[in-house]
Structure 1
Amino acid sequence: MCGIFGYVGAYTDTGGMVLQALKRLEYRGYDSWGVAVGINNHIEIEKHVGKIGSAMVDLPASDIGFGHTRWATHGGVCEANAHPIPDASGRLAVIHNGIIENFRSLRTSLTERGYAFHSETDTEVVAHLVSDLLGQGDTPEAVRSAVARAFMQLRGLNAIIVLDRSTRTLTAIKHVSPLVIGQRESGSFIASDTLALAGHTERVSYLEDYQLVQLEHDGITSIDARDGQAWPLVWADIPVEEGSAELGGYPHYMLKEMHEQPAVLERIARDKLDETRELARLIQSSYGTFLVGCGTASYAALTGSYLFSRIARRHVNFVVGSEFEYQEHFLTDRSLVVALSQSGETVDVIEPVLAARERGAKIVALVNVKGSTLDRIADFSVHLDAGPEQCVLSTKAYTAKVATLLLTAHILNGSEHVGRDLLWRAVDGVSAALTPGFIDRVHGVAETVNASQNLFIIGRGLSYPTALEAALKIKEVSYLHAEGFAGGELKHGVIALIEPGTPCIVYSPLDETRTDIISGAMELKARGGLIIGISPENDEVFDIHLPIADVADASPLVMAPPAQMLGYQLALRRGFDPDKPRNLAKSVTVK
């Protein structure tokens, strides 16, 4: 959610540079955007509602500026609420990620002191609060002090950057919500994501909580906002490959990333043995393991709980990230929390993980973005190495998580060679589900179900979490109401929703669930359901059959791509952008 980019240096087309960086952050999700530059002792701001697209900014030449893509939380989607937000005098402008939990009391206090508000945002309190604390101060030190004191009054997980026209500085500080800076001879950069810095700098420094940095034309100052003491910057090589974030000839990132899944599986089978062996050792030595994730990551975690039980005879607990803080009171220093996240910035994972760490639990991250918050706070990380995932929907990162947990379960069981063999079989199975012929079959299914109001998906055992993930993929990209259920729950209420012609996807791998799931399919068909079977073998109950490879316990890996492709095809038929579904964000950084 919300993308940030800023620059101070020798380059004078700062407005254009900022806009291009914001385009690279579009995958984070947003509904409005804005850019500001400092010029001739004033700040020029340009803001718009909607997507950036092919837009250009009409801003004067400047060597300092910043920009922001906003995902609305406080206040509607309009230009007044878009960032940057100026203060009353026009000296300052602010961009902000997060939610200021005490903004109402701050706003009331500022209003009583005569400040007028022109937006509905919580961000505007920062602009007026910094201005109030700064007064007539006209030095970089005065700005640092005002920003630090203002930030310490905010409650919540926030990151702010203040552009000051007088000192021509960008001053930034964060608590949990990420910020990263970069530097080269031509200037200094700051962003919410290293992806925006790729191509601008080869080294970065990740801000820690309450670390305040000030970007000036002659360098960067870093202090602790709590006591004003110097805070040395720690530099690291930028951990992203610029070229891998491009479309590469595909019409959409979603399609590109689906087609990258076989290569992701190959890398895990070939390169991830050391990391998965260490993860298996940590699980073996723990007293209580918890798999935690949100959205797609939660379904990968749920799949993992089945895999560990089925393969390694090891019980692990599955918890939805946003609910974990309500269940973690019994954690001890012998507990292990395995947190799954593509971005490594999901606040509903970060917050409970931090609380678990305070209770002494060991933290493992299954994360795709190196250097992310989750990666840095974990005691040990398994890097998914799936490459940048630009589409808001997660496809290849989901596959990487499930594959990693499958391999780990087999290592824990002492059958590492079996796990690797299954992954190599899954490479072929996923590749087969991405061939033109198979895609044509899925296209036919999309044509059949496109006019439907509802779509139901059932599975048992390992197929149950896959059904949940399949429903999520379809509804979030095509807006067709899709729900996944455990096959055994049909008679406990779900079957009341079935009407003649209702499309029902049935996951039916060749395992011990086959007989019971086929019986469930018959019950659906008896009530008029249109049965779409995703299975290695056809059955007479299927009205439509999508054949997949038989890969035993790796079946979740080959069952996912047909649903991903169905969601993609439905989105195109309905005229929606599959890369940027409405109201969704790639990196959920606010609660």
Structure 2
Amino acid sequence: MCGIVGYIGSKEAYPVLIKGLHRLEYRGYDSSGVAMISDEGKLNIYKAKGKVAALEHFAESKDRSGTVGIAHTRWATHGEPNDTNAHPHASQSGDLAIVHNGTIENYTVVKKALEQHGYAFRSETDTEVVVQLIDYIRTDTGCTLFEAVREACHQIVGAYAIAVIDRRNPNQIVVARKSSPLVIGVGDGEYFIASDATPIVEYTNRVVYLNDDEIAVINRGESLHVFNMDNKESKVNIQKLRMSISELEKGGYPHFMLKEIFEQPRTLRDCIRGRVSADGKHVVLSGVLDNKERFLDAHRILIVACGTSWHAALIGKHLFEDMCRIPVEVEYASEFRYRNPVVSDKDVLIAMSQSGETADTLAALELAKEQGAFVFGICNVIGSSIPRATDSGCYIHVGPEIGVASTKAFTGQVTVLAMMALMLGRMKGTIADEAFERVTRDLHRLPELLQEVLELDTRVKDLSKIFTYAKNFLYLGRGYNYPAALEGALKLKEISYIHAEGCPAAEMKHGTIALIDDDMPTVVIAPRDKIYDKTVSNIQQIKARNGRIIALVTRGDEVAAKIADYVIEIPEVCECLSPILTSVPLQLLAYYVAVNKGRNVDQPRNLAKSVTVE
């Protein structure tokens, strides 16, 4: 992985490809490259380790002519990041070029077979094996590029989104997909190819999302044709993009992450709009309502997710068990898919992913479907793979999230889980009217409460200067806010590279307390809730060991605030929604510490926005 761009039409391809690569930078990468068929019919490939700017500099004096081309940003999986391993890769004949996202599991077997046929390899990648295989099939059989790609896809095992061009036919691009996203933009006599819609929205709002095991033949000036692996033509379903170019710009903020933190009052308003009635008496999610019986008959809810989505899922467990009185299990998708889990047709499995393309989560939901579970998706990206693979679902509607470290998607996921729990609890009769209306009232207030929290920006910025050079951080929380502590620790280590650990406050005594000293700051999430007194006791235990404490407390707190060294006050809100408020100062803290350390906040090292490989 990480990002594919392609173009065929009447425009010069190079500017479109480079701009597209810049649009995909948010996904994370370590090298980039372009391949174009020049006006003279030559296949020109330019690649460079590092940022897209390095590629632009390298290609500046080169022949960049041509109206067809493919490009790629790479996040290394096979072979170290360098110019040779960067995509695109050329066939030994020099006729073909390929870009590829995903991993080919049987590439060593295929490589050895090709070596026996005289093929030599320049790179360490699995991708080069694919282009050499396509070249071999085409040379050996005399078939078309489409037929060679289709046969190669039958022989390789793994996940892939590929785009292939042939210098002998500059009027065609062939693309294929399995378990890795690929979208085709349909313009006026031109086509655009990308891993997601961000490089396309500037040129057209008409897109086709390829399904698994589909191949598209894109010919200049002709209609798009899509086929399955059995060579049967599929219906081309053109959809309208719901995205604007302004959503992909920083809007005056220094980083996308800060912009997205400050967007949260609006994004939660969008998430709630039309789903919670103005009088607070009704919550309606059509994906739940249309499948009411499956939810009411469920013996258990399973939630599978990764990373930040897994933290949101832990809050969902509290919400469903409190309001719906149904057992809930939260699983790392990467562990669930490789166990032999006990799943039945009485289970509801919720698959959560911001991108909707997380490979492990996709595999986990497919496993659950095979065993008869009803699968419900919670995603942000419309038209992504998880919404198309699930039985039903719900979008969080927070808009494109460009920063690698998730912020508004987390609060959106928790908000959707809260609405689901309220609706299901009302259907099951397991939540009292008074409690239901109290939570829905606070749901309506969330945007204004978040706006109040964002007024703490200067306070958190000043605090960050004190702790920028800490080598370790500890985050503690209890109940609903234990997952918020995990999420706060994740944000800090993701973008500042400071080691941080999240822990249930009471569990600190079982080992973690040995780390406490005056060099290690501890963030304690201590809103006024039913276990507030217990959390205060934990704060006292840290203070007794000379720990330096940053406490997140409810406005007006006079107990924990007196013990802590530094205090951040948040507005009062019902306990089950408090993680939405407590998470935002922790996002700001991580952001400002990372900025103070000179980190690349939007593109932290080694991380990718959409994890489409295992």
Alignment of 1:350-429 (within 5 A): 350-414=362-426, 415=433, 416-429=436-449
Which segment is superposed worse, 87-96 or 400-409? 400-409
Match of 1:149 in 2: 151
State whether structure 2 residue 278 is matched by structure 1 residue 279: no
Amino acid corresponding to residue 246 of structure 2 in structure 1: G
Quote how far apart the aligned CAs of 1:214 are: 1.5
Partner residue in 1 for 2:568:
546
Change (3 A) 1:422 1:277: farther
Distance in 2 separating the partners of 1:326 and 1:486: 27
Measure the CA separation in 2 of the matches of 1:275 and 1:89: 59
Contact 1:299 1:465 in 2 (8 A): yes
Match of 1:195, SS state, is coil
Q: Does the residue aligned with 1:126 lie in a helix, a strand or coil?
A: helix
Mapped to 1, the partners of 2:413 and 2:247 lie a distance apart of 20
Where 2:273 maps in the other structure, the secondary structure is helix
Query: Structure 2: how far apart are the matches of 1:483 and 1:264?
Result: 28
Q: Which residue of 2 aligns with 1:431?
A: 451
* Range with greater deviation from structure 2 (327-336 or 172-181): 327-336
After superposition, the Cα gap between the structure-2 partners of 1:275 and 1:126, relative to the gap in structure 1 and judged at 3 Å, is farther
Among 248, 251, 264, which residue is 2:251 paired with?
248
Question: Whole-Å Cα distance in 2 between the matches of residues 67 and 458 of structure 1?
Answer: 44
Give how far 1:277 is off: 6.1
> How many Å separate the matches in 2 of 1:286 and 1:560?
31
One-letter amino acid matched to 2:397: D
Aligned to 1:463: 481
Question: By how many angstroms is 1:51 displaced?
Answer: 1.4
For residue 74 of structure 1, what is the aligned residue in structure 2?
Answer: 78
2:430 aligned residue? none
Name the residue aligned to 1:581.
Answer: 604
User: Is 1:63 aligned to 2:81, yes or no?
Assistant: no
* 2:495 equivalent to 1:486: no
1:9 positional shift: 1.3
How do 1:495-506 and structure 2 match up within 5 A? 495-506=513-524
More off after superposition, 558-567 vs 334-343: 334-343
Q: Residue 49 of structure 1 contacts residue 79 of structure 1 at CA under 8 Å; is this kept in 2?
A: yes
Contact 2:287 2:394 in 1 (8 A): no
SS in 1 for 2:363: helix
SS in 2 for 1:520: helix
CA-CA distance at 1:53 after TM superposition:
4.1
Q: What is the aligned partner in structure 2 of residue 473 from structure 1?
A: 491
Tell me the distance in 1 between the aligned counterparts of 2:104 and 2:528.
51
Q: C-alpha distance in 1, partners of 2:175/2:141?
A: 18
**Aligned equivalents of 1:128 and 1:384: distance in 2?**
42
- Check whether the contact 1:204–1:237 (CA below 8 A) recurs between aligned residues: yes
Q: 1:110 to 1:365 in 2, by over 3 A?
A: same
Whether the 8 Å CA contact 1:507–1:533 is kept in 2: the answer is yes
1:137–1:143: 8 Å Cα contact kept in structure 2?
Answer: no
- Partner letter of residue 32 of structure 2? W
Deviation at 1:184, TM superposition (A): 2.1
For 1:210 and 1:405, how far apart are their aligned partners in 2?
32
Whichever residue aligns with residue 580 of structure 1, its letter is: Q
CA contact (8 A) 1:265 1:424 kept: no
- Larger mean CA deviation between 513-522 and 76-85 belongs to 513-522
Query: Which 4+ residue blocks in structure 1 deviate beyond 6 angstroms?
Result: none
Residue of structure 2 in register with 1:118 after alignment: 122
Question: Following TM superposition, by how much is the alpha carbon of 1:46 offset from its aligned partner in structure 2, in angstroms?
Answer: 1.0
Question: RMSD between aligned alpha carbons?
Answer: 1.7
Q: For 1:257 and 1:233, how far apart are their aligned partners in 2?
A: 34
Q: Helix, strand or coil for the counterpart of 2:73?
A: strand
- Report the alpha carbon displacement of residue 328 of structure 1 after superposing the two structures with TM: 5.8
Q: Judging changes above 3 Å, is the alpha-carbon distance between structure 1 residues 231 and 568 closer, same or farther for their aligned structure 2 residues? A: same
Residues 94-125 of structure 1: CA distance to partner in whole angstroms, max 9, x if unpaired? Answer: 10000000111111111122111100111010
Give the equivalent residue in structure 2 for 1:31.
30
Among all aligned residue pairs of Structure 1 and Structure 2, give the percentage whose two residues are the same amino acid.
37
Give the SS at the match of 1:385.
Answer: coil
Instruction: Determine helix, strand or coil for the equivalent of 1:333.
Output: coil
Work out the CA distance in 2 between the residues paired with 1:305 and 1:154: 39
What residue number does 2:160 align with? 158
Gaps of 5+ in 1: none
Cα shift at 1:327:
4.8
Distance 1:473 1:326 in 2: 27
Which position in structure 2 is the counterpart of 1:41?
41
Q: Tell me how far apart the structure 2 counterparts of residues 55 and 75 of structure 1 sit (CA, whole Å).
A: 19
Kindly provide the amino acid, as one letter, of the partner of residue 258 in structure 2.
L
Task: Provide the residue aligned with 1:339 in structure 2.
Answer: 351
Matches within 5 A, 1:440-459: 440-459=458-477
Greater shift after overlay, 340-349 or 230-239?
230-239
With normalisation by structure 2, the TM-score equals: 0.92
How far the C-alpha of 1:471 sits from its partner, in A, is: 0.4
Q: Deviations over 1:281-319 (max 9, x none)?
A: 453332221112110000000011012222333322211
SS at match of 1:97: strand
Change (3 A) 1:278 1:62: closer
**Pairwise CA distance, 1:548:** 0.7
Alpha-carbon separation, structure 1, partners of 2:104 and 2:321: 42
Does the 8 A contact of 1:9 with 1:64 survive in 2?
A: yes
Task: Report what 1:512 is aligned to.
Answer: 530
- Indicate if the aligned counterparts of 1:279 and 1:408 stay in contact, CA closer than 8 A: yes
Q: Which moved more, 1:174-183 or 1:573-582?
A: 174-183
Work out whether residues 160 and 172 of structure 1, in 8 Å CA contact, stay in contact via their aligned partners in 2: yes
Contact residue 455 and residue 482 of structure 1 kept, 8 A: yes
Q: State the TM-score, normalizing by the size of structure 1.
A: 0.96
Give, as a single letter, the amino acid of the residue that structure 1 aligns with 2:385.
Answer: T
> Aligned AA for 2:437?
H
Contact 1:506–1:534 (8 Å) recurs in 2: yes
Question: Following the alignment from structure 1 to structure 2, what is the Cα–Cα distance between the partners of residues 34 and 202?
Answer: 26
* Distance of 1:307 and 1:188 partners within structure 2: 45
Displacement of 1:186: 2.8
Q: Report if the CA contact (8 A) 1:275-1:382 is conserved.
A: no
